[in-house]
Amino acid sequence: MTEPLIRIQGLVRRFGPFTALDGVDIDIYRGEVHALLGDNGAGKSTLIKILSGVHPPSAGRILIEGKEVHFRSPRDASAAGIGTVYQDLALNPLMSVTRNFFLGRELYRGPPAFGLLDMKKMDAITREEMRKIGIDIADPSQTVGTLSGGQRQTLAIARAIYFGAKVLILDEPTSALGQKQQMEVLKTIMRVRRRGDVAIVLITHNEVHAKLVADRFTFLALGQVIGRGTRVELEHEDIRDLMAGGRPLGDLARELAAA
């Protein structure tokens, strides 16, 4: 086994008297999809916000390629190669695909002070980077509002990778999408995986999607790791039980029957 791209050791996060994460250890490898699973309140959101530089940890270490890192802001995390695609995608539906792709990082013809955007070059880059992961945008000047939900996810993913993401954190990327659009997103994830140079952290409540695309799984409950394993090691029923907080579904059914 190669060394992990990211190693999380003993991560703790407290908010006053409440402990959201309590000694979490996770290894994330380049070229793999690592599914992070757990019910609401398990600690998934807190963990990705720490990795994204939104919150500092209360204790523990984060190492990227063997070097310990300390993020003071999301900008620090981005500079270290962590790209996070949240559910809202941070896209402006009234702006073009290209302007969204380069938002805040536009290319200029001549000095930026003159404000002459190099739209031809930005259009070409946008179309090529989205094509690499499966979406051919015929007209990158079209507004994002005309894209499907799956295409918008692909745009956000392509943008993160182009601007240097070594680790791509996807927060519930298939939620609120129809079945066809969900498959578009899952295909995009598999194309990124095949590149072999990006680690993908997939946060999802959908056990079927996790089983379809993930190589490795970590299950959280009440801020602690309650299970982990690879696609080969875990059966479908194991995943369902661990997503239920480590309790077999039969136990939950009996509890409901007794209510």
In the chain, where the domains are located: 6-89+164-232+242-257
CB distance 81 to 165 below 8 Å: yes
Q: Is the pLDDT of residue 40 over 50?
A: yes
The residue whose two tokens read 């006053």 is 16
The mean pLDDT of 86-99, rounded to a whole number, is 90
Q: How far is CA 188 from CA 129, 158, 233, 239, in A?
A: 12, 9, 25, 23
> Could you tell me the pLDDT band of residue 238, with boundaries at 50, 70 and 90?
confident
Q: What is the pLDDT averaged over residues 66-92?
A: 93
Tens of pLDDT, residue by residue over 173-200, are 988 888 888 999 999 999 999 999 999 9
Q: Record the pTM.
A: 0.87
> What type of residue sits at position 253?
A
The tens digit of pLDDT for each residue in 107-152 reads 998 887 777 899 999 999 999 999 999 889 989 999 999 999 889 9
Query: How far is C-alpha 129 from the geometric centre of its chain's CA atoms?
Result: 18
**Alpha carbon distances (Å) from 150 to 5, 70, 179, 203, 222:** 28, 33, 10, 16, 31
How confident is the model at residue 175, as a pLDDT?
A: 86
* Fold observed for domain 6-89+164-232+242-257: Rossmann fold (3.40.50)
* pLDDT score of 252: 41
